[in-house]
Amino acid sequence: MHHVNLTAAADAKFQERLAKASGQDVKQCYQCGKCTAGCPIAYAMDEPPNRIMRMLQLGLKDEVLDSKAIWLCSTCATCTTRCPKNIDVAGVMDSLRVMAKQEGRTRALRSIDLFNDIFLGSVRKYGRVHEFGVGMGHNLRMGKLLKDVDIGTGLMTKGRMKLFPSKIKGQGEIARIFNEVYKLEEAE
């Protein structure tokens, strides 16, 4: 089990930034544990969602931003749906990923951060995910070109994955939204 330093001083500015970024008041969490009980990824996390919420209440910025949990969260929103205080836990996790990335705290989880960038780049460019491009791009940049090639070949022969991307109607609008978000991030 991972040990957390509970004697560290709370980082009030971090708590304020998180509240502003996520629009959520994590102090409302009373640790019922429903978020963790419903989380399909909790078993793989170093800190389950309810513990992340408690660490946020205590202002343990370093422990939270350095945790693997914020990167493993799939943002399925089961936690958000189950929360009796209507806290958007998935939204909080998303805001934490953004904050960690802004502070350069992604080195330990390079693969996840890289996948996130490639995935969002695909959505920005095509208006949807091009699975083949995302998989190959990730494998190339991780230096594992032939990883999962057997799975990809099987998906392609069954028509489940396309070799070439297709754009959706309104793709330009999606790219515009991404550009606006990037401008807002740069302004902060």
- The CATH number of whichever domain residue 23 belongs to comes to 1.10.1060.10
129 and 91 assigned to the same domain: no
- How far is the C-alpha of 25 from the C-alpha of 85, rounded, in Å? 10
HSE of 80, CA atoms in CB hemisphere, 13 A: 14
Instruction: For residue range 135-182, list pLDDT tens digits in order.
Output: 888 888 888 888 888 888 888 888 888 888 888 888 889 989 989 988
Instruction: State the virtual CA torsion across 100, 48, 17, 66 in degrees, nearest 10.
Output: -30
In a domain, 171, yes or no: yes
A 10 A CB-CB count for 12 gives 9
**What's the pLDDT tens digit per position in 37-56?**
999 999 999 999 999 999 99
35 and 79 Cβ atoms separated by less than 8 Å? yes
Final residue of a domain: which of 105, 120, 135? Answer: 105
The total domain count for the chain is 2
Residue where a domain terminates, one of 55, 84, 105: 105
Range of lowest pLDDT (9-13, 43-47, 82-86, 95-99): 9-13
User: What does the pLDDT read at residue 9?
Assistant: 60
Q: Do residue 158 and residue 89 come from a single domain?
A: no
pLDDT at 49: 97
- 136 and 178: one domain? yes
Give the pLDDT confidence score for residue 155 in this predicted structure.
84
Burial 121-132 (b: 16+ CB within 10 A, else e): ebbbbbbeebbb
According to the model, what pLDDT value does residue 104 have? 86
- At 65, list the tokens: 């931003």
Tokens 């302004």 -> residue = 187
Residue 107, pLDDT > 70, answer no
Predicted pLDDT of residue 146? 85
Q: Are 101 and 67 in contact (CB under 8 A)?
A: no
Length in residues, the chain: 188
Whether residue 23 sits in one domain with residue 101: yes
Residue 34 lies inside a defined structural domain of this protein: yes
Residue 135 and residue 80 share a domain: no
Domain that holds residue 83: 12-105
Query: Tokens representing 120?
Result: 């969002």
Regarding whether 91 and 24 lie in a shared domain, the answer is yes
